Amino acid sequence: MIIVRFLLRFLLVPIGASVATCVAMVVIIVAHWNRFVVLAGSNPAPGDDPAFVMLLLGPALVMTAAAMGMLAPAAIGVLIAEAFAIRSWIYHVANGGLSAALGWIALQDVRRPYEIFNEPLIVVGAGIAAGFAYWAVAGWNAGFWKPVFSEPTKENRLSEERR
């Protein structure tokens, strides 16, 4: 049974990280929706202009690089949660927010030319949302060696009978 849980963790952790990354990107896009609308409305025929495509592709690539920079501290937090079977949503939300803040600080040179990453409140909010999304997918049952739903032990049954 422990081997099955171990293999399941190899599936759930990457899926949780992918969902968390997508949630963080959605939060950033929603927070900067007006900027995206102005950018999209500035060119009525985007298919004809390669500069417009690069204008959209460039920030997407930078967002991906920034997400990777923020995933490194988050991965350390996930490893700690898996090793010690930390299943608290507060831990995962704090891990997401702290990872986003550390990534925001570490990537100053990358984010400088782009206005999207210049507001730390939005970046940390995206990290918090990502941490909660990770907990909802994979963090609530962290730790392959500690079962989520276990049968009550003999001592627990005796203490319940005494009540």
Is the pLDDT assigned to residue 113 strictly greater than 60?
yes
Rounded to whole angstroms, how far apart are CA atoms 85 and 141?
A: 8
- Output the CA torsion 143→84→106→126 (10° steps): 50
> Which pairs from 146-151 meet CB under 8 Å and 24+ separation?
146/85, 147/1, 147/5
The CA R_g of the chain, rounded to the nearest whole Å, is 21
User: Does residue 139 contact residue 81 with C-beta atoms inside 8 Å?
Assistant: yes
Rounded to whole angstroms, how far apart are CA atoms 158 and 156?
A: 5
Q: What is the mean pLDDT of the chain?
A: 77
Rounded to whole angstroms, how far apart are CA atoms 26 and 36?
A: 12
Rounded to whole angstroms, how far apart are CA atoms 128 and 123?
A: 9
The answer to which of 40-44, 54-58, 66-70, 143-147 has the lowest mean pLDDT is 54-58
Average pLDDT over residues 102-127: 79
